[in-house]
Every structure is written in C-alpha cells, then in structure tokens.
Structure 1
Amino acid sequence: MRTRLAIKIHGFLERRFPERRVFLKSDTDTRFIRLRPETQLIAVAGTCVIVAWGIVATAIVLMDSIGSGNFREQAKRDQETYRERLNVLSQERDARAHEALAAQNRFNAALAQISVMQSEILASETHRHELETGIEVIQTTLRQTMQDRESARNQLTQLQQQETTGDSPQALASSAPAQMDFVAAALADTALERDQILADSQAALEARDELEKEIRLMDDRNDQIFRQLEEAMAISVEPLDKMFRSAGMPTDRILEQVRRGYSGQGGPLDPFSLSTRGEEPTADELRANLLLNQMDQLNLYRIAAQQAPFATPVNLGTVRQTSGYGYRRDPKTGGRRLHKGSDFAGRTGTDIFSTADGVVTQAGWQSGYGKLVTIQHAFGIETRYAHNSNIRVKVGQRVSRGDHISDMGNTGRSTGTHLHYEVRVNGKPVNPMIYIKAARNVF
C-alpha cells in the first residue's frame, strides 16, 4: 500500500513539477544538477513561506506604526489635559495662599486689637476704682453734713424752747444786752451754716448722679469691649481647632501636652483680679478671666501648630507632585507596593524646608533613601526628607519650621531628581497631605 501511494504521489508531482536539470559548464568539463519533483516542491513551499512571512511582518510593522501614532496623539492629549489640571491646581493653590495670608493678617489684627482692648479694660477698671473711691468720700462728706444739719436744728429747737420760758432772749435782753447780741450772732451763723450744708448736700447728690451715670456708661463700654474680645477669640481659635481635628489630632490631649511640657514664652496667663478685699469676683472679672483663659488656649494652639508638620517641605510654585501616599506601581520593579510618602519633583538643588519645629535625629546616607534627613517633632511625629543632593543640618541640631535643611537631589533608589517626604506618627507612616491640606485656610 505504501509503495502504490508513494508511486501515485510521485506521479502527481511529476505532472506538476517535472524533473529538471541545471547544467554547469566549465572549460574542461560539463556537469548538471538534477532537480527532482520533491526538491522543487520544497523550494516552492519555502519560497511561499518566506513571501508569506514578509507580507505578515510588513502588515505588523504598518499596524504598529499606525498604533504608535495613535498612542502619541493620545499621550499628547493626556499631556495637555494634565497641564490644564496643573494650571487649575496652581490657580487654586495661589487662591489658598492669598486666603491664608488674609487669615494671618486678620489673626494679627485681632491680636493687636485684643492687646489694645485689654489695656483699655485695665484703664477703665482703674478709673472705675477711682470713681468708687470718690463716691465713698462724697458719701462720707454727705453724712457729716447731715449730722451737722441735725445739730443746727437741735440748737434752733433749744433756742425756741428758751423763748417760751422765762429765760427768753427778749426777757434777758433788758437785763443783758451783750448776751442778746451774742445769741443773735450765733443764730445768724447757724442759719448761714445750715444753708451752706443744704447747698453742699444738693451738690453732693448731683455729683453722685453724674458718677452713677458715668459708671453705667463705663459698664456699657466694657460690655462692648468684652463682646468684641470674645468674638475675636472665637474667630481666632475656631480655625486652629478645625485644623487639628482635620489632621486627626485630639485637641484636648495636644493642648494638655503643650501646657505640661512647654516652659518658655507662651505659658499660662495669671487670672484677672481687681479686688484685694477677699470678695467674690464680679461678672466683669469672670468674663475677663474667661478671656484670659481663651488667650492662653490660643497661645497653646499657636505653639502646637509650630510643632506639628502643617507646612509644606518645598515651595509648591517651583515643583510638582509626582506621586502621592498609597499603593502604586513601583518605578523600579513594576510591582505593586505601598508608597509611604509624597514625591515632589523639581530641579537639582531646590531648597527643602523643615515643616515643623523639632530635633534632627539623622542626617546622612541610608539605603534606599539616599541622603536622608530625619526630624523628630512633638506628639510622637517624625518627618523624613529623602534623596537629597546636599544636607545642611547635623544630628542633634534643633530646627524651626521653615528652616533650610537640605537641597533636592537624586540619591538612593530614585528615578529622577525629587523629594520623598514622609510623616510618621509613633513609627507608623501616614499621608503627609492630611496635615498640608488641613492648614490650607489657616497659614
């Protein structure tokens, strides 16, 4: 069966591809190459395969060229969209910066107004104390005048009684003219003294009414000053309290920690007291003490805000954020990994600033981070500034918010010049933008 099938196949190939001979002739000899039907079939099949491969490869190249052109157009459109988004974000950032500057100006104006109003309160309370002393003196004089008037009335009554008895001045006048003259002069002096006492009493009453009116006006003015101070305190404290709560920081615990640990400027103020006689404090004294407590709370908020990383590590007008906190595709390995901070790309040497007051705990090379600066802040917060080209601080150095601590670079595990900024609370990484966004409308 196999022989017959092979004969049939060979005969079919002989009809389609008859045997051919290629002669090769030289000067001395002539040779030929026999091309069997099977050889011709293999050659034709190979030629067809090569031609088909060329056609397919050409089609693939053309399709890839067309697709790459579409990808470039899409990339250009995405780039334009990204640029528009960056422009919008820049405008929004500038608006927030203007709002923060206006809020800071309002805050400074409120503090200046508070200082002026507090001085006015002290001056008004001193004046009030002087008025109270004057009223007491006038009342003492009035009581003495009333006593003198009663004494004059008693003397006049005695003289009238003498007139009804036999020892009247008229009876004694004939026997003692000199005594009569003395009694007449005494009566005249008593009448003049009585009239003077009545006039002094009336003047004292009018002065008392004027003083009471002035005290009422002073009370109204003090009440207005207190209301303005209370409103200024509410306007100043509320944004700071909202900022800390937006950042997830418990304000009660934060303020208590600052109150216990802060020993420099900005400690608690002494209670406001106007009386040294051991009396119960008045309503104005209670309001003044409440305002002083609120001022102390405002001062504690200010101190706490300096010690928490609410500022930005770079000038946002000179950089752009290239990566945020969270899981992302690793730029080196391509795998999915947690990015523990925020990346800001800029030029080499861009200034990097401390985002809060603290102490430098590391300033040198660390694997993966490159040249790294680590700062320990209050409340268990730590910030890291990685991939620097130059470090400007030393370990143990105390820095303040806004101090220039390093320059942007491309050291360590990095694909380009940028800052890797981390915030850690009690050793655990958190999103740095929580603090930056919380302070947008405050600073």
Structure 2
Amino acid sequence: MRTRLGIKWHGLLEKYFPERRVFLKSGNDTRFIRLKPGTQLVAFAGSSFVIAWAIVATAILLMDSIGSGNFREQAKRDQATYKERLNELSAQRDNRATEALAAQERFNAALAQISVMQSELLASETRRRELETGIEVIQRTLRGTMKEREAAKAQLASLKDEMESNGGVTGVATAAANAPIGFVAEALARTTAERDQVIEDAQDALIAADQMATEIALMQEQNDQIFRQLEEAMSVSVAPLDKMFRAAGMPTDRIIEQVRRGYNGQGGPLTPLSFSTRGEEPSPDTLRANRLLNQIDQLNLYRIAAQKAPFATPVKSAFRFTSPFGPRRDPKTGGRRMHNGVDFAAKSGTPLYATADGVVTHSGWQSGYGRLVKIQHEFGIETRYAHLSRLNVKVGQRVSRGDRIGDMGASGRVTGVHLHYEVRVGGKAVNPMIYIKAANDVF
C-alpha cells in the first residue's frame, strides 16, 4: 500500500517537477548537481512563501503609510482646531480679566465712598444726639423757669390781697417787710426775658433739628445708593469665582471653610459694624452693611482659594496645543496608551510658570519625564511640569502663581520640544483643561 502511494506521489512530482541536473564546469573538470522532484518542491514552496510574505508585508506597510498619512492630516486638523479654540479662549480670558479689573476698581471706589459716608453718618448721629440732649436741657430749664414765674405771681397776688385787707401803711410795711414790690417786678421781668430766650432757643433748636433730619434723609438716600452699587459689585465679583470652582468640580463650601480656618489667625472674617452703644437692635442699614462685609470676606476667601488652585496656563508666550488629555496613539511605539496630561509646544527655552501657590516636592530627572518639577498645592492638588531644559526651583521651595519654575525643553521620552503638564487630585490624573477653561470667566 505504501509502495503504491509512494509510486503515485513520485509520479505526480515527476509530472510537475521532473528531475533536473545542473552542470558546473571548471577548467577540465565537469560536475553536476542532481535536483530531485522533492528538492524542487521544497525550493518552490520556500520561494512561494517568501514571495507571499513579501507581498503581505508590502501591503501592510502601504496600508500603515496610508493610515499614518490620514492620521497626520487628522492630527493637523485637530491641532488647527485646538489652536483656534485656544486663541478664542485667550481672547475671552483677556476680556474677562479687563472686566474683572474694572469691577474691582468700581468696588474699591464704592468701598472708599461708603467709608466716607459711614463716617459722616456717625458724625451726624453724634450731632443729633447732642441736639436732643440740648433740647432736653432747654426744656427742663424752661419748665423750671415757668414754675418759678408762677410761684412769683402767686406770692405777688397774696401780697396785694394782704395790703387790701390790712390797708394803709401797715399793709405796705408788712408787704415791704415780706417782699419788696420792686424786687418782685424785677424778678418777674428777668424771668419773662429768660422765658422768651428759652422759647427762641427752643425754636432755633427745632429748626436745626429739622435741617439735620433733612440732611440725614439725604445721607441715607446716598448711603442706600452706595449700598446698591456695592451689592451689584459684589454680585459681579463673587458669582464668576463661585462658577469657576463649581465648573472645576471643587466643592465651594468645603474649600471656603478650609481657607477660613487657615487664614483665621491672619485676619479672619471682617468685624460686624455697630452704630449703637445703647444695646439697641441693629438698624436695617447696619444689617445691610454687615451682609456686605460678609460678602467681602467671602470674596477675599474665594480669591485666596483661587490662588491656591491651578486656574492658570503654565505657558504665557505663544504656543501650540499639540496633544490633549486621554487615550492617544503613542508617538514612539504607535500603540494606544493613556496620556495623563496636555502638551504645549513652543521653542526651546520658553519660560514656564507655576499655575498656583504651593511647595516644590520634586525638581530633577525622572525616567520618561526627563527634567521634572512637581508642586504640591492645597486641596490635595499636585501639578507636574515635564521635559524641561532647565530647572529654576529646588525641593522644599515655596512658589506663588506666576513664579518662573523652569524652561521648556526636550528631555526624557519625547519627539520634540514641548511641555507635558499634568494636574493630579488625590494622586489621580485629571484633565488640566478643566481648570484652565473654568478660569476663563475670571482671569
């Protein structure tokens, strides 16, 4: 059975791959190589495999080249879109910064004006109390004088009655002995003059009190207008900051309370106003002023918190946004991997700045990142600045927003000069554009 099968297989090979001989002649000697059908089959199969592999590899390379070309075109379009968007965001940020500066100037002017008005209001309150005290003194003096005049009139009437009842010299002598008529008349005249003067002074005091009441009413109206301006300025100032924190996913109540605890020993909330020293209930203006002071305190806490969170762009010079946060094609290996930050491309040596107040926890070389700066901020936030060409800070150094921390470069695992910028909350990487975009309406 095996012999028959072998004979058939050999005959089939002989049909397609007949035995061949390759003659090799060198000098006077001639040799030949015998190529059996099996050998020719193996050679043919190997050649076919090589050719097929070459065709498949060429097709793969062509497809990869075409795909890379499409990917590059798409990347260029995405970069152009990102650049236009960043330019728009930059323009909006400048507009919001101008508006915030104008609102701050209006707020400072209104605050200075209300301080002056409060001083005048306190002075007018003091004058009014002095006038009230003076009027009370005048009224008491007037009542005493009227009683003395009535007593003198009663005494004079009793003297006249006694004179008429006794008659003659005896009545006159008795009257002269008790109270001389001239003295009584002089006392009555003096009392009448004092009464008239007191009445005139009281009328002048009432007129002055009416004028003071009119002035107080005008001052209260001006004070109300200033309050309205301050309330509008506070609304314009606080609302964008609150919106910025909420857009970044940061709980404003917890953050404000944390900042308040940290800064209570250096000022804390503003002291409430009190215009009364008699233990009276606070007036509506006092309550309104205290509400404004609380809002001013909240605004200050918001601004302190904003300085401690990375609501800024690390590159202030012209740059190109080259890679977003999230999964992407690795520029080195071509595979898919997570990109934990955003990339800003500019020329080598471009200054880089801290995006918030904090403490430098790393400044040196780290595998993959190259020259790397890590800054620890409040609220459990950390920022990273990678691939730098030069480091300007040291570990343990305290930096503020806008401080220069280094220069852009191409150190580490890169394909070109750029900054790799990361934001981590509780050790987990988040999209830095959340903070940058959230601050567009404020900074």
Aligned twin of 1:38: none
Aligned twin of 1:326: 326
Q: Is the 8 A contact 1:357 1:377 kept in 2?
A: yes
Letter in 2 for 1:290: R
Task: Tell which deviates more after alignment, 289-298 or 117-126.
Answer: 117-126
C-alpha offsets along residues 354-390 of structure 1, whole Å, 9 cap, x if unaligned?
A: 0000000000011111110000000000000001111
For the residues of structure 1 that align with 2:340 and 2:77, how far apart are their CA atoms? Answer: 29
Q: Is the 8 A contact 2:163 2:171 kept in 1?
A: no
Letter in 2 for 1:273: S
Seen in structure 2, the aligned counterparts of structure 1 residues 122 and 175 have a Cα distance that, compared at 3 Å, is: closer
Aligned twin of 1:32: none
The two structures have a TM-score, normalised by structure 2, of: 0.77
Seen in structure 2, the aligned counterparts of structure 1 residues 266 and 428 have a Cα distance that, compared at 3 Å, is: farther
Aligned twin of 2:381: 381
Letter in 1 for 2:321: Q
Aligned twin of 1:428: 428
C-alpha offsets along residues 239-298 of structure 1, whole Å, 9 cap, x if unaligned?
A: 111111111111100000001122575532222223333333222222222221111111
Seen in structure 2, the aligned counterparts of structure 1 residues 327 and 113 have a Cα distance that, compared at 3 Å, is: same
Aligned twin of 1:133: 130
Task: Tell which deviates more after alignment, 84-93 or 95-104.
Answer: 84-93
Task: Within 5 Å, give how 1:138-177 maps onto structure 2.
Answer: 138-166=135-163, 175=172
3-state SS, counterpart of residue 276 of structure 1: coil
Task: Tell which deviates more after alignment, 378-387 or 218-227.
Answer: 218-227
Task: Within 5 Å, give how 1:282-301 maps onto structure 2.
Answer: 282-301=283-302
Task: Tell which deviates more after alignment, 306-315 or 103-112.
Answer: 103-112
Task: Tell which deviates more after alignment, 293-302 or 371-380.
Answer: 293-302
Q: Is the 8 A contact 1:145 1:201 kept in 2?
A: no
| % identical equivalent positions | 53
3-state SS, counterpart of residue 260 of structure 2: helix
Aligned twin of 2:213: 212
2:100 to 103, 111, 115: 103
Cα displacement (A) at 1:422: 0.4
Letter in 2 for 1:271: P
3-state SS, counterpart of residue 379 of structure 1: helix
Answering whether residue 224 of structure 2 is matched by residue 223 of structure 1, we say yes
Report which structure shows greater RCO (CA 8 Å, sep ≥6). Answer: 2
For the residues of structure 2 that align with 1:188 and 1:429, how far apart are their CA atoms? Answer: 98
Q: Is the 8 A contact 1:169 1:180 kept in 2?
A: no
Cα displacement (A) at 1:158: 3.8
Seen in structure 2, the aligned counterparts of structure 1 residues 167 and 296 have a Cα distance that, compared at 3 Å, is: farther
Cα displacement (A) at 1:200: 2.3
Ranges in structure 1 where 5+ consecutive residues have no aligned partner: 11-52
Cα displacement (A) at 1:150: 3.3
Seen in structure 2, the aligned counterparts of structure 1 residues 233 and 412 have a Cα distance that, compared at 3 Å, is: same
Seen in structure 2, the aligned counterparts of structure 1 residues 79 and 396 have a Cα distance that, compared at 3 Å, is: closer
For the residues of structure 2 that align with 1:263 and 1:279, how far apart are their CA atoms? Answer: 29
Aligned twin of 1:180: 181
Cα displacement (A) at 1:127: 3.0
Answering whether residue 314 of structure 2 is matched by residue 313 of structure 1, we say yes
Aligned twin of 1:349: 349
Aligned twin of 1:15: none
Seen in structure 2, the aligned counterparts of structure 1 residues 277 and 181 have a Cα distance that, compared at 3 Å, is: closer
Seen in structure 2, the aligned counterparts of structure 1 residues 80 and 338 have a Cα distance that, compared at 3 Å, is: closer
For the residues of structure 2 that align with 1:81 and 1:378, how far apart are their CA atoms? Answer: 34
Q: Is the 8 A contact 2:393 2:406 kept in 1?
A: yes
For the residues of structure 2 that align with 1:170 and 1:299, how far apart are their CA atoms? Answer: 93
Q: Is the 8 A contact 1:152 1:194 kept in 2?
A: no
How many matched pairs?
Answer: 389
For the residues of structure 2 that align with 1:382 and 1:107, how far apart are their CA atoms? Answer: 30
Q: Is the 8 A contact 2:89 2:440 kept in 1?
A: no
1:124 to 121, 125, 130: 121
Ranges in structure 2 where 5+ consecutive residues have no aligned partner: 1-6, 16-50
For the residues of structure 2 that align with 1:358 and 1:114, how far apart are their CA atoms? Answer: 31
Task: Within 5 Å, give how 1:185-204 maps onto structure 2.
Answer: 185-204=186-205
Task: Within 5 Å, give how 1:260-275 maps onto structure 2.
Answer: 260-262=261-263, 265=266, 267-275=268-276
